[in-house]
């Protein structure tokens, strides 16, 4: 199992956000992590622009988006932007995309959120044609009629991963993409719901075993602080639980909320948590570092303690 970390804009002014993101990605590469995952926060930096900037401070690590909403841009625009970013990184981009949620697409952007699975399939047909056959995009389906020359050949195969939670989306991801990017999925949901469906779809399409990227909060803490860490996860990360998509996903697992899913505790507890996700079928673990504390200094210290332990565990897992 590959180990990665989420790196995105935190609170603060713009210059501080950029500086912090770059320092975080530099740490991830120096700690020998496999991947950095950059979220597309609706109110903040463009994820692919951040990825391109991170590429200037790294030379080895894969950098992925988790995830770019499809409805916000035409597929040709996303093809052009992602292949350009992929080239700038020397072939290290993993493009995570998805149909997002109704409160983003419909309420924030004012766009229709009808048949998101069908829209995703049609979009991926355009994206796949551009990625696999550089030179011209010629795709006609129910949503898009594209005949667009494109002279950006990929420097290396660019993985495309789709946020897929339900059976229909998992089938689409298995058939047309290279895997899935998950949030709010515990070990049971992955082992019994996610992995079997996407793997079967990939096999039927004659594709390699799909990547399963699981985003999970991680916090190093004393046993007496476990409840504090889970409560903090619920306090700062639970907004997405209102989504019907995530509610249905929770029904497939044992966890009742994001706090239940968090990997928290001492070094042994974190290692055991990593191994549980690996046994469930996860190919890539994307850590959302979860600091605890009552002051900014305590939160920063907690983050750095967790990072130090994670760097050692990465060596042990290999």
Q: What domains, with CATH codes, occur in the chain?
A: 1-163 (3.20.20.30)
> Could you tell me the pTM of the whole model?
0.95
CB under 8 Å to 59, separation ≥6 — which residues?
Answer: 29, 90
- Given a cut of 70, whether residue 133 has pLDDT beyond it is no
Pull the structure tokens for residue 62. Answer: 């894969």
- Cα(260)–Cα(256) distance, integer angstroms: 6
Q: What is the chain's length? A: 318
Number of Cβ within 10 Å of residue 139's Cβ equals 20
pLDDT top residue among 10 and 32: 32
What pLDDT, on a 0 to 100 scale, did the predictor assign at position 47? 96
What pLDDT, on a 0 to 100 scale, did the predictor assign at position 134? 66
SS3 state at 220? strand
Q: With contact defined as beta carbons under 8 Å apart, do 48 and 82 qualify?
A: yes
What pLDDT, on a 0 to 100 scale, did the predictor assign at position 16? 87
pLDDT band at 85 (very low <50, low <70, confident <90, very high): very high
Q: With contact defined as beta carbons under 8 Å apart, do 136 and 148 qualify?
A: yes
Q: Please, what is the angle between helix 267-280 and helix 296-317, to 10°? A: 60
């Amino acid at each position: 199992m590959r180990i990665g970390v989420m790196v995105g804009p935190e609170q603060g002014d713009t210059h501080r956000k950029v500086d912090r993101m770059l320092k975080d990605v530099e740490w991830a590469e120096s700690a020998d992590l496999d991947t950095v995952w950059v979220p597309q926060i609706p109110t903040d930096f463009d994820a692919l622009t951040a990825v391109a900037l991170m590429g200037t401070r790294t030379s080895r690590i894969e950098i992925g988006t988790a995830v770019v909403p499809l409805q916000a841009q035409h597929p040709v625009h996303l093809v052009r932007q992602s292949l350009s970013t992929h080239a700038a990184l020397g072939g290290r981009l993993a493009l995570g995309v998805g149909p997002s949620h109704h409160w983003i697409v419909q309420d924030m952007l004012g766009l229709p959120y009808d048949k998101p699975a069908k829209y995703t399939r049609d979009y991926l047909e355009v994206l796949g044609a551009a990625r696999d056959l550089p030179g011209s995009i010629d795709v006609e389906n129910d949503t898009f009629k594209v005949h667009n020359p494109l002279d950006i050949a990929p420097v290396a195969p660019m993985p495309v991963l789709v946020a897929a939670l339900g059976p229909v989306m998992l089938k689409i991801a298995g058939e047309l993409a290279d895997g899935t990017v998950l949030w709010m999925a515990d070990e049971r949901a992955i082992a019994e719901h996610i992995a079997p469906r996407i793997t079967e779809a990939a096999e039927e399409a004659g594709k390699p075993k799909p990547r399963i990227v699981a985003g999970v909060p991680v916090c190093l803490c004393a046993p007496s602080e476990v409840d504090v860490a889970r409560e903090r996860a619920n306090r700062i990360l639970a907004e997405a639980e209102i989504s019907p998509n995530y509610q249905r996903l929770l029904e497939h697992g044992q966890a009742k909320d994001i706090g239940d899913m968090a990997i928290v505790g001492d070094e042994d507890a974190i290692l055991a948590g990593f191994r549980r996700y690996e046994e469930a079928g996860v190919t890539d673990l994307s850590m959302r570092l979860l600091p605890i504390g009552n002051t900014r200094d305590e939160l920063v210290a907690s983050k750095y303690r967790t990072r130090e332990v994670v760097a050692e565990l990465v060596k042990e897992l290999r």
